[in-house]
Structure 1
Amino acid sequence: MKRLRQHIEEISPITDEEFESIRTFFTQKNVRKNQFLLHEGDEVSFEFLVLDGIYKVYYLDENGKEHIVQFAKRNWWMTDYNSYFKQRKSTMFVECLSDGEVLCLTLEGREKLAAEFHTMEHFFRIKLTNGYVALQDRIRLLLSSTPQQRYEEFSKLYPDLILQIPKKYVAEYLGVSRETLSRLYSNAK
């Protein structure tokens, strides 16, 4: 739980007493490679804070094609947010790509934390704002940039991820074929 406190205090300082209360809202879960935290059709009970491992959040279209919405690594939050906040069944999958560990937070717990602790309300607002900005940047890149520009931006933003994730997933995330990704990778060297 030490990492949870460090993560929160990057944005909002908290006292020892506050942290002792805050930590009770989280449950810790070890996750194995290829294990799913969420399947399409599941009730979305948790938002996850990544302590260790790499995860992908994706959906399958009507033809069964996988579309990766997000990768998540240490200190990133993830879930099917539409379903989490609206309390609907999931339309996404969350899969672990390497052994890892997450902290789980219910929506009820999140709401109580925000109501009881101004620092946590501030923390969640900043996290949500940053996530929204990142999502808009991702959409802008997908809609108006070349594959080369998307690859360069991904490499710049996530230099460690590009080395840790199978190339087929990077290609899916960027919206290119594996052959195109190979050319982009070669051109970048």
Structure 2
Amino acid sequence: MYMKTLYGLADGNSGEPIRTSQVAEAMDVSAASASEMLKRLGGKGLLDHEPYKGVHLTEEGLALAARVKRREGLMEVFLVQMLDFDGDVHDAACRLEHALTDELELAIDRLLDYPEATPSGEPIPQVRRDIDADLSHLLLPLKALPEGVLATVEMLVLDGVERRTLSEQGLHAGAEIRRVQDVFEVAGIEVQISDSLQARILARTC
């Protein structure tokens, strides 16, 4: 939480040092608690301290804070767009963010078609996306699966009716699938999958 808060404060401070009082107010903690945590983060190389003025995020600290903010933003979009979640989206995303690995973050980014903002309009920190010529072992939404590449279905973010309908056509977790022009081939059978469903089915290339 502190790193995410520091990222937001740094973004709004236009390069000026972040004061302990700002952190305490944003985190709703005492100045003493905020000061102690800032010292710990500084000891880890995440903050630089400017005497009598405040702190700055180091390059390492900024990268870590941006990653936390980015993953939380991706999870907010995932919860709203993919799960139609109507609970406390921000709180749920904050909890889920901690469980994301680098690979899962990339897969969810692809699944959501590389969102730039959360459902509330807050910008999501962007990263450089390298295009890997080696297509093996990539986790992709079906909409991004290149033609002719064999993949194994790993995740289906579907409701019960959608899941049963596709399962009857042989499409389920563990099934091998290949794009052939405008359709998909599953166990030798051609299956039509809508663009909406393609975005919610993840498969790993073989």
TM-score (norm 2): 0.27
> Which entry has the higher C-alpha Rg, 1 or 2?
2
Structure having the higher helix fraction is 1
Task: Kindly indicate whether structure 1 or structure 2 has the higher relative contact order, using CA contacts under 8 Å at least 6 residues apart.
Answer: 1
TM-score (norm 1): 0.29
